[in-house]
Structure 1
């Protein structure tokens, strides 16, 4: 499944921890936006790990948003400007 994760985090330290987690799962497509092609298990892992980073947060202005993108919607994605849509392979050789 494709999920879009965006964040707005004030603390540089916390933001860098979030970025490190997200880089394990997806591609950074804008400064505070990642596209991730993940399994349901990975999606839950990401949510759990980011929740732990946000836990006990005194800043009520920080946020992380998750958007699930269906296959039909993904096929209709358009980009204006720089960037490209990552191609999803039909198969993966391991």
Structure 2
């Protein structure tokens, strides 16, 4: 399934800047950055729960914001893109 993760971390303090780096690093484990604070993550349902749990532990919910957009397993017809496109591996077999 494809999940889009968007976040806004308050970086006014050194702790906030550290949280921002940790949130980005955690998201990179599960997906690909498509904008500064937006990741497309191709995950299993259990990985999605783990990702949400890990980000919840990192975030300061009093000053930060996390958003999860679950596009499901059949997401290819739900995405429209213009401009330079970054490659996100699909679910099919890819030979190199």
- TM tier, smaller: 0.7 to 0.9
Q: State yes or no: 1:49 paired with 2:54.
A: yes
1:79-90 matched pairs, under 5 angstroms: 79-84=81-86, 86-90=88-92
CA distance in 1 between partners of 2:63 and 2:32 (Å): 25
RMSD of aligned alpha carbons: 2.1
Question: Counterpart of 1:64?
Answer: 66
How far is 1:91 from its partner? 3.5
Query: TM-score w.r.t. structure 1 length?
Result: 0.81
Runs of 4+ in 1 over 3 A off after TM superposition: 70-73
> Aligned to 1:27, which of 23, 27, 32?
32
Which segments of 5 or more consecutive residues in structure 2 lack a partner in the other structure?
Answer: 11-15
Query: TM-score w.r.t. structure 2 length?
Result: 0.80
